[in-house]
Structure 1
Amino acid sequence: MEGDGLFTIGALARRTGLTVKTIRFYSDSGIVPSTDRSPAGYRLYDIHALTRLDLVRTLRDLGLELAAIRRVLDREISVPEVAATHADALDVQIRTLRLRRAVLRVVAERGSTPKEMDLMHKLAKLSEDERRRLVTDFIDDTFGGLEANPEFVAMMRAAMPELPDDPEPEQVEAWAELAELTQDPDFRAAVRRMAEYQARERAQGDTTGLHHDLTEAVRARVGHALASGIAPASPEAAPIVDDLTARYAETFDRADDDDLRDWLLTRLDTAADPRAERYWHLLSVINAWPVPPSLAPVFTWFAEALRAGTGSSSTAT
C-alpha cells in the first residue's frame, strides 16, 4: 500500500520505530486516526498521519501528557505554548528532586531517624513564601507591641531564609534547625526578653542604633586578649576593660562608674543566649552568606572581667 501513498500500521511502525500496539492505541484514542481502510478492513495511514505520529512521539519523549498532546494536535494551543508550560513544570520537578537529594545526603551523613528525616523533608519542601512566613511570625511574636530598636527589627525582617533551588546538604540541615529554633517557645521567650530590654532602654533615651563600631571594638580588643592568653581577672586585662567601659559610657552618654558596670553586665547577660547567635549563623549558612565569627567568647570574657572588678580604681570595687 505504500505505493499508493498510504501506509499499513506495520509500515508505519517500521518508519517511526513505534510498536504496532502503540500506534493502534493512538489510533483508537483519536490522536492519530487512520486515513482509510483496505478492502480487507486493515487501517491505512497517509503522510499527514505519519507526520502527526512523529510529533506525538517527540512530545511523548519530552514527557508531555496525552491530554496536552491532543490539544496541540487539535490546535487549541501551539507547540511553543505547551513547551513553555512543560518546561515550567519540569523546573518544579527538578527543584523537588534536588531538594530530595540534599535531604537524603543529610540523612545519610547524620544517620537521622525516620522521624527526623520526615521532619526535615516537610520543612525543606515549604515554599519560599511559607519559609518567610515562619520567620515573619517569629519576629511578629517576639517584637509585637514593643518599642524595640526599629533598625534591628528591620534588619531581621530583611534577613529571610532563601533556600536555593539546588541546596547543599548543610543548607537543608540548617533550614530544618532554623525552623525548629523559631518555633521553640523557650527561645521565643528569651528573644522576647531581649526585645523588652531594648524597649526599656529606648524609653530611657537609648536611640543609638546597632552600635556596630562598639561591637567591633569589643571584638578587636578582647579578641587580642584571648589570643594572648590574658585572663579576665588579671592586671593585664585592666586597660582593656577601662577602654571598653569608657567607650560604652561615651556611646550611651553615661557616667563611667560602678552603675555603668552594673548596667553593662545586665546588658551582656540579657543578650547572652547563644541561640540568638545561632539564629544568625543558620541564616548565613542557608543564604550562603559569609558566616560571621562567634562573638560569644569575647563577650563572655568581657562579662567575666566586669564581674571580677577588673579595671581602674575609679570603676572597680
Structure 2
Amino acid sequence: MSHDGLWSIGELAEHADVTVKTVRFYSDRGLLPEASRSTGGHRRYAPASLDRLRLIRSLRALDLPLPAVHRVLDEQDPGRALEDAVAGRLSEVGSRLRELRWREAALRLVQECPPEERAERLLLLGAMTTPPSTDAPARFWRAWLPARMPARSVAAFLEVAVPAPPDDPDPAQVLAFARLHALTSGPCPGGARRPRPEAHRVAGARGAAVLYAGLAEAYELAAAHLRHDRPPRPGDALDGFVAAYAQAYDRRDTPGFRRALARELAAEARLDAYWDLVSVLTTAPGARPEPTPGSTHDWLLAALDTDVTATA
C-alpha cells in the first residue's frame, strides 16, 4: 500500500486473487469506482474496493447480469434489490430448464419412434414452439364459442378446455401437444366450418354463458363417478347437466325435454380426438387418465340415454 493508503490496480487484483483485466473490466463498467488517479494516470483504489470486488464476483457467480449487479451495489435498499435480482434470475433459469426438458422429451420422441414414423413426427414438432404455446387451441375455442359471449365466461371456459403444457413432459405428452396444435391450427377438411353445438344458436351468447357455468358443475360431479368407475346413471350429476340446458333454453326439465335433448346431443359433431389428447396431457405418466370435459360429457350423455330409456 502506498503512502496515501490506496492500492494500484495490480495490488487490488492480487488481494482479490483475480487478474488485472478483471478489475479493469468492472471499473470500465462503473461497478468498481476508482478513488483517484496517480500523476501518471494510473488507477488507484481504496481498500474498501476489495469487499466490493468480492461481492461483485459473488453476484456474477450467480449469473446475475451486470445491470442487476449495479442495482444491488448502488440501490439505497440493497437487500431488496438483491431479492428482486435473484427472483428474476430464478424465473429465467426456470424457463430455460422447462425449455430444455421439452427439447429432451422431443429428442427422445424422435429417437424412440419407428423409422417410418419419424418424418411425420418431425413435421409435427417443427410446427410448434418449444415449449409450446397454447395460442392455437385458445383461438380454436374462441372461434367455436358464440360471438359476444361475456369475456369472463370465455376465460372460464378456456381455463378448462385448453390444457397447460406440462413442465416436465414425457415423449408421449410432447407428441400429444404437437397433435393438439396441428388439430386446432389447421383448416377443417374440405374448407368446412368448425362444428358448433345447436345450443349456441338456441341459447345465444348470454344463454351459452349460463349453459357452460352449469355444465362445469355437472362435469365436476360426473368426474367423481368416472374416478370410481361407476357406470352412467341418473342422479345429481345428470340433473345438473339437464338443468344447465333447460336454463339456457328457458325451458322446464320434463321427460319430453330430456328426450329432445338426448336426440340433439346425439346428433352433434364430436371432438373426441381433442379430448383424448387433453387426457394424455393432463395425466401424469403411468397414472390413471384424469376425466376431461369430453369424457364427463360422454358419461352424462350415456346417463341421459339410460334415463330416457327407463322413462319411455
Q: Same fold (TM over 0.5)?
A: yes
1:117 and 2:125 correspond: yes
* Alpha carbons 2:56, 2:69 under 8 Å: kept: yes
1:26 and 2:34 correspond: no
Alignment-derived partner of residue 37 in structure 1: 38
SS of residue in 1 equivalent to 2:129: helix
Alignment-derived partner of residue 193 in structure 1: 195
Q: Which has the larger radius of gyration?
A: 1
Alignment-derived partner of residue 253 in structure 1: 254
The one of 258, 275, 284 equivalent to 1:277 is 275
Alignment-derived partner of residue 178 in structure 1: 180
* Alpha carbons 1:72, 1:82 under 8 Å: kept: yes
Q: Relative to structure 1, is the Cα distance of residues 253 and 103 closer, same or farther in structure 2, using a 3 angstrom cutoff?
A: same
Structure-2 separation of matches of 1:269 and 1:55: 70
Structure-2 separation of matches of 1:274 and 1:167: 25
Alignment-derived partner of residue 236 in structure 2: none
Percent identity between matched residues is 24
Q: Relative to structure 1, is the Cα distance of residues 116 and 16 closer, same or farther in structure 2, using a 3 angstrom cutoff?
A: farther
Aligned length: 271
* Alpha carbons 1:35, 1:45 under 8 Å: kept: yes
Superposition deviation, residue 115 in structure 1: 4.3
SS of residue in 2 equivalent to 1:15: helix
Per mean C-alpha deviation after superposition, the further-off stretch among 1-10 and 288-297 is: 288-297
Alignment-derived partner of residue 232 in structure 1: none
TM-score (norm: length of structure 1): 0.57
Alignment-derived partner of residue 94 in structure 1: 93
Structure-1 separation of matches of 2:72 and 2:270: 63
Q: Relative to structure 1, is the Cα distance of residues 121 and 99 closer, same or farther in structure 2, using a 3 angstrom cutoff?
A: farther
* Alpha carbons 2:72, 2:81 under 8 Å: kept: yes
* Alpha carbons 1:37, 1:43 under 8 Å: kept: yes
TM-score (norm: length of structure 2): 0.58
Alignment-derived partner of residue 6 in structure 1: 6
* Alpha carbons 1:134, 1:179 under 8 Å: kept: yes
Q: CA RMSD in A?
A: 5.5
Structure-2 separation of matches of 1:165 and 1:279: 13
* Alpha carbons 1:103, 1:120 under 8 Å: kept: no
Alignment-derived partner of residue 156 in structure 1: 157
Per mean C-alpha deviation after superposition, the further-off stretch among 2-11 and 136-145 is: 2-11
* Alpha carbons 1:27, 1:34 under 8 Å: kept: no
* Alpha carbons 1:99, 1:167 under 8 Å: kept: yes
Q: Relative to structure 1, is the Cα distance of residues 123 and 268 closer, same or farther in structure 2, using a 3 angstrom cutoff?
A: farther
Structure-1 separation of matches of 2:26 and 2:281: 52
1:46-125 equivalence runs, <5 A: 46-70=46-70, 73=73, 75=74, 78-111=77-110, 114-122=122-130, 124=132
* Alpha carbons 1:102, 1:172 under 8 Å: kept: no
Superposition deviation, residue 18 in structure 1: 1.0
Q: Relative to structure 1, is the Cα distance of residues 123 and 300 closer, same or farther in structure 2, using a 3 angstrom cutoff?
A: same
Structure 1: unaligned runs, 5 residues or longer: 226-247, 306-310
Q: 1:144 is aligned with what amino acid?
A: P
Structure-1 separation of matches of 2:17 and 2:193: 66
